[in-house]
Chain A
Amino acid sequence: MEDSTDRIAAPWGVRTPYGPGTPWPARTDTHLADGVAPDAVERWVQTASILHSDGDAMDIAVRDGRIVGVRGRAADRVNRGRLGPKDLYGWQANGSRDRLVRPLVRDATGRLTECDWDTAMDRIVSRARGLLDERGPGSIGFYTSGQLFLEEYYTLAVMARAGIGTNHLDGNTRLCTSTAAEALKETFGCDGQPGSYEDVDHADVIALFGHNMPETQPVLWMRVLDRLAGPRPPRLLCVDPRRTVVARHAAVHLAPRPGTNVALLNALLHEIIRTDRVDRAFVAAHTVGFDELARRVEPCTPAWAAGICDVPAAAVEEAAELLGGAERLLSTVLQGVYQSHQATAAAVQVNNLHLLRGMLGRPGAGLLQMNGQPTAQNTRECGANGDLPGFRNWQNDAHVADLARVWNVTPETIPHYAPPTHALQMFRYAEQGSLRMLWISGTNPAVSLPELSRIRAVLGQERLFTVVQDLFLTETAQLADVVLPAATWGEKTGTFTNADRTVHLSEQAVRPPGEARADLDIFLDFAARMDFRDKDGGPLVTWHDPESAFEAWKRCSAGRPCDYTGLSYGLLRGGSGVQWPCTPDDAPGGTARLYTDGVPWAHPDVCESYGKDLVTGAAVEPVEYRSLNPEGKAVIKAAAYVPPHEDVTPDHPLWLTTGRTLYHFHTRTKTGRAPQLAAAAPDVWAELSPDEARAHGLGEGDLVDVVSPRGAVRARLRVTPMRDGVVFLPFHYGYWDDPGRAPDADGGPGRAANETTVTDWDPVSKQPLFKTSVARVRLVERSDGTPAPAPTTAGSEPAAPEGVPPTVGGPDARVTHTTGEEGR
């Protein structure tokens, strides 16, 4: 049956209810440009989404050499044909008139001017050579994205680590997902999602810890909604200070004070142990460290947590009852934990919950430490985000030697004297002057990093040579010395892996505009011009296109946990996504769940990391790890609650928390150029609870300044039913589409939430804290009756809907969907 829906007004579309243990029914969503009928589409080209970590599989509609729409792939295990609003409308940004089409270099007068590729690349190569001679490899750093393809990250990792020989390579996945990786390494010795999205089909309890799934992963939320609409639905636990859409569907909603997640989780673990909901046989067989945890959480009663978290003790007990009574428990964790104080310590306690309850490795008993960025998993696997490629352990000489063998270089070529440098430390080195060249690909730190005035000052330094490779002249590109025009999704071929380890192939559908080039081609060109060599004098980078890069990566992944050797472009082409590890002999169809039988990757010889101290971040030494965990079991790691580093004061009496919302993605470079998405959430807003707004004498639509010790943001107020004592700002509104809103020299208010956030990060995962700053709110101007520009459809739903028109998309936002078997 075919029908159509305004998917701005109804972001999750129509329901296809289903019961536990049955397959999720298909529903195929299609959105074509106005006036294009389905039979006018010339070609459908296979791909998946890169606007969130779901990895929704889809086909791109092509006509006259242009992208004219998208359609979900019903056969795919991830989305069964569904698409979220960002998938449905975001593709239009590819065709924007303001795409970069030629390289730019800064001329003698300080202006960015167009040039040819030779000029731009020569300038980069001569600076890189000069710095290598004068200052050594430590003066060059690379900061990449979470939106490139696997082949590109791998090439970048080889080029940076073995070509340049620098330890300074990280991805913006540091901002969204490094805590997921670190928490998995702490508990299981290795990165890699234990569970599968299919666990939604089986779970009887789903716990979402700081995870606003309806807005960050709308298609996965459709799966949950379809379970909720079917027979024997799961019950939900929601932990979030805001009354999100999850909270509205939850059996129990806990809205803790920001920065107190560890206290709350310790109390939940206290209750699980007190009520003896522990799977003793599982704990004995598969874990070490239980006694230490039991001792640590013994004093952490619900009443104790209630005082710290400002939630009722009875609600904590009720939540523990829900978790303790679950037969198939699925937990998911995202930014409410990862971008908060004690991020890794809190995420690890969710792992502990699953170990205690034996909830791993079977359908519905799943653990999803989520990703925010769509190709975050690939930065982690390929060694472009804080680890060596193939989940190799920098502290394990055998792993480094093995990597050197794969690359045919000497082990000394690969820096491994310390962990790979994280993004914020790279910016610190640049600020201090020891890092003199920073190559930024596919990301926009001038909007996405904390304390933006500081970031602008670092990037604006004369002594720092900055290369920016992107689609548009972003806020960051405007500060660059060389700007390289990049091709994007739909204009190049490659693979990428979503949060539940599903690998998809994304094929080139159209040509990139002007002289824009695929990121892979840019990196390969640089490697060739630098003439990087292996130890026998042959070229270091031996591949020349996406498929040969993928084959090279397969050799690097062989025998490691993220083994891709059973995959090929041929296998992925025409088919559906496949979950790694995928090997020709043992797992030719991929692997749905890890740890179905023990935790083999935690073994001291295999593990990716020996772990860190959860409070100090100090590295655990190999000898220590061997004695703690000689057989390589899962490590139950306890952590004490430590108060946040910044606390509310009379001057800054509110907690400031920031977040991503339904219609926008990473600094809006694409979503801000998709008309339906831009219109649904056109501008930044601020949120307060009704009581908090009343106490401040503020109402809906009032223009306010949100002021922190770092800076200020001017926004209209939305009054929403969230907890008191907190102000919320959606992040990533910047300045490219409204340059007049840039903060003035004397610290006047800006538009980007990160003008206000603190420069502080979790000492374990090095992920910045975007959710625990402090602020005050000040009235600038009363509303003339115009409400805040916040959408009404999701977490920013108004507390009092009168006078706030509902968010709709109109005729241009209509999306057809087909349900039932004919949709396949």
Chain B
Amino acid sequence: MNGITLTLRALHHAERSLEKDLLGAAERHATEHEVHHVAKDLARWSREHAARLADTGGAYGLDLQEHGGRGPGALLSAVRERAAEALGHRPEPGLLLLHDLRELYLAASGVSLYWEMLAQAAQAAKDARLLEMASSCHPETLRQVRWANTHIKVLSPQILTGPL
């Protein structure tokens, strides 16, 4: 175990967790239609990244395969979506949405920094395989960051200036 394997493990965990967060936000904000649909698309990137990390991790003696459940169960999802729909006519979910987008921004930024670290280490270690993985996954993470940023920018004026 060295710094690279530690980073691979942390990154794998962070991508799995980001996927779960994106899917959770999609369910909580079922009536924010663009967030709902695009967050699911973005979760797919994290799922693919985690799979590539698990695949690559094997070469470094890491076992990053699936551990147990994959995100919230179907029943919980359904309950969350119904709750979102029931609350869809009220202003408070707007604040919750901004909160969730902020968390997603921070989580994706965290993932991005891990990819940065991994890419730097790969260059120093002249590890072409790791570098290739980082260069193809990291841009998608940055796009996840920008997506959250754009929505915060667009929604904040309306949500934060109206009466509560």
Contact = CB atoms under 8 A, between A and B. Distances in A.
Interface in A382-438: 415, 417-419, 421, 424-425, 428-429, 431-434
Interface stretch (A35-43, A131-139, A550-558): A131-139
A433 B157 contact: no
A782 to B, nearest CB: 38
Contacts, number: 82
A16 B38 CA distance: 50
Interface in A734-772: 759-761, 763, 766
Interface in B29-81: 31-34, 37-38, 40-42, 44
A759 B32 CA distance: 10
Contacts of B93: 432
A167 interface: yes
A642 interface: yes
- A interface bracket (residues with beta carbon within 8 Å of B): 20 to 34
B41 A642 contact: yes
A167 B157 CA distance: 10
A784 to B, nearest CB: 41
A798 to B, nearest CB: 37
A615 interface: yes
Contacts of B150: 616-619
Nearest to A758: B33
A724 interface: no
B157 A434 contact: no
B91 A616 contact: no
Interface stretch (B1-9, B10-18, B117-125, B141-149): B141-149
A7 B68 CA distance: 67
Given A434-B91, A645-B40, A760-B33, A136 B162 contact: yes
Interface string B99-118: 00000000000000000000
Contact of A432 (B38, B91, B149): B91
Contact of B33 (A134, A167, A613, A759): A759
Contacts of A618: 143, 146-147, 149-150
A434 B94 contact: yes
B31 A136 contact: no
Nearest to A429: B158
B41 A617 contact: no
A418 B42 contact: no
A760 B34 CA distance: 7
A714 B13 CA distance: 50
Interface string A111-137: 000000000000000000000001110
A613 B147 contact: yes
A128 B158 CA distance: 17
Nearest to B145: A618
Given A432-B93, A760-B33, A615 B162 contact: no
Interface string B133-164: 00000000001101101100110011101110
Contacts of B143: 613, 615-616, 618
A432 B32 CA distance: 10
Contacts of A418: 153-154, 157
A761 B34 contact: yes
Contact of A424 (B33, B153, B162): B33
A138 B147 contact: no
B91 A760 contact: no
B74 to A, nearest CB: 14
A138 B38 CA distance: 25
A428 B31 CA distance: 8
A619 B40 CA distance: 19
Contacts of B32: 428
Contacts of A425: 34
Contacts of B42: 616
B90 interface: yes
B40 A617 contact: no
Nearest to B152: A418
Contact of B38 (A136, A419, A434, A763): A763
B89 interface: yes
A589 B27 CA distance: 56
A759 B30 CA distance: 11
Contact of A616 (B31, B38, B157, B159): B38
Nearest to A139: B162
Contact of A431 (B31, B40, B154): B31
B27 to A, nearest CB: 14
A346 to B, nearest CB: 15
B86 to A, nearest CB: 13
A616 B158 contact: no
B41 A433 contact: no
A432 B92 CA distance: 9
Contacts of A645: 37, 40-41
A174 to B, nearest CB: 13
A433 B89 contact: yes
Specify which of B38, B42, B88, B149 lies most central, judged by the most chain A CB atoms within 10 Å of its CB. Answer: B38
Contacts of B157: 138, 167, 415, 417-418
A466 B85 CA distance: 24
A763 B34 CA distance: 7
B146 A433 contact: no
Nearest to A645: B37
Contacts of A429: 158
A131 to B, nearest CB: 11
A419 B157 CA distance: 11
Nearest to A768: B33
A615 B147 CA distance: 10
Contacts of B90: 432-433
Contact of B147 (A134, A136, A419, A617): A617
B75 to A, nearest CB: 19
A615 B139 CA distance: 13
B94 A432 contact: yes
* Most central of B44, B150, B158, B161 by chain A CB within 10 Å: B158
Contacts of B154: 418-419
Contacts of A417: 153, 157
A759 B146 CA distance: 24
Contacts of A138: 157-158, 161-162
Nearest to A435: B158
A618 B140 CA distance: 12
Given A138-B157, A618-B146, A433 B91 contact: yes
Contacts of A415: 157
Given A135-B163, A418-B153, A432 B88 contact: yes
Interface in A587-629: 613, 615-619
B79 to A, nearest CB: 18
30 contacts: A136-B162, A139-B162, A417-B157, A418-B154, A418-B157, A425-B34, A429-B158, A432-B91, A433-B91, A434-B159, A613-B147, A615-B41, A615-B143, A616-B38, A616-B41, A616-B144, A616-B147, A617-B147, A617-B150, A618-B147, A618-B150, A619-B146, A642-B41, A642-B44, A645-B37, A645-B40, A759-B33, A760-B34, A761-B33, A763-B37
Given A417-B153, A616-B147, 10 more contacts: A138-B161, A428-B31, A432-B93, A432-B94, A433-B90, A433-B91, A613-B147, A616-B146, A618-B150, A760-B37
The 7 tightest CB contacts between A and B, nearest first, are A618-B146, A616-B147, A618-B150, A618-B147, A434-B162, A418-B154, A645-B37
Interface of A: 134-136, 138-139, 167, 415, 417-419, 421, 424-425, 428-429, 431-434, 613, 615-619, 642, 645, 759-761, 763, 766
